[in-house]
Amino acid sequence: MREVQDQASPGGGATRDGHADEGTSAENAAAEGAARTDAAGTTSLIVGADGRTRPLWAASDPLLREYYDTEWGMPVRDEQGLFERLSLEAFQSGLSWVTVLRKRPAFRVAFAGFDPEVVAGFGAADVERLLADASIIRNRMKIEATLQNAKATLALRDEGGLASLIWSFQPAQTPRPEHARDVPSSSPESIALAKTLRSKGFRFVGPVTAFALMEAVGVVDTHLLGSHRRGSSGVWS
């Protein structure tokens, strides 16, 4: 889930969604409080009315702010939680993350709470049902990929499971971005993770999607230095 590199939001660079450009983000966040700018005049952080410092993407919408403050970057180590986040990352590709967040309750209903055992049993009739469901993102390739990824998740149980695989790609060090421009959109570990997932039968998982997943579930910490959430996961000091 990545926005324009301002801080790249939960999931990827401008090539992944084109949510809002820096100026628009700054305007939307202006009501939150004082912006902090670097020497080049680029706004990376903003101090909210609550006194907390956040990146612009997290201050531009109440739903994004809540997600940033309570969920993004916190460790997820259970199979179902990781399958859900992997699925939503795939659905977000090409769209804004806030669109996915707004539809997440509907996604959970449509995909049986992202229980991989249930989703793995979905068939052609379920694909048509999902394509007719206006409350979710209706994309046949993404829907079919989610069903395939559920099957691949079950197959991984014989090898330690999805959580073990994803967390095995935790790097020795995490990025320490001071500004939005310092946040990478991929890494050697995300490239390797994407390659491994694809070799295990997963679809719609490229290096950028894999890195976005790693950010979202705490495998790396890309909170900007100065954000009130930096280091909050407990994974990285």
| Tokens read off for 11 | 């999931």
Q: Does a cis peptide bond (omega within 30 degrees of 0) precede residue 7?
A: yes
| Tokens read off for 147 | 């069903």
Instruction: Say which of 3, 32, 79, 89 is annotated catalytic.
Output: 89
- Chain centroid to Cα 126, Å, comes to 25
Nearest to 113 by CA among 70, 84, 151: 84
Instruction: Say which of 57, 68, 72, 97 is annotated catalytic.
Output: 97
CA-CA-CA-CA torsion for 166, 170, 176, 179, nearest 10 degrees?
-20
To the query of whether residue 89 is one of the catalytic residues in this protein, the response is yes
DSSP letter at 212 equals H
Instruction: Establish how many alpha carbons lie within 13 A of residue 152's alpha carbon, considering only the half-sphere containing its beta carbon.
Output: 23
Return the amino acid letter for 127: V
Nearest to 64 by CA among 23, 7, 107: 7
To the query of whether residue 97 is one of the catalytic residues in this protein, the response is yes
Rounded Cα gap, residues 237 and 224, in angstroms: 14
Instruction: Say which of 57, 67, 72, 236 is annotated catalytic.
Output: 67
The residues annotated with a catalytic role in the active site are: 67, 89, 97
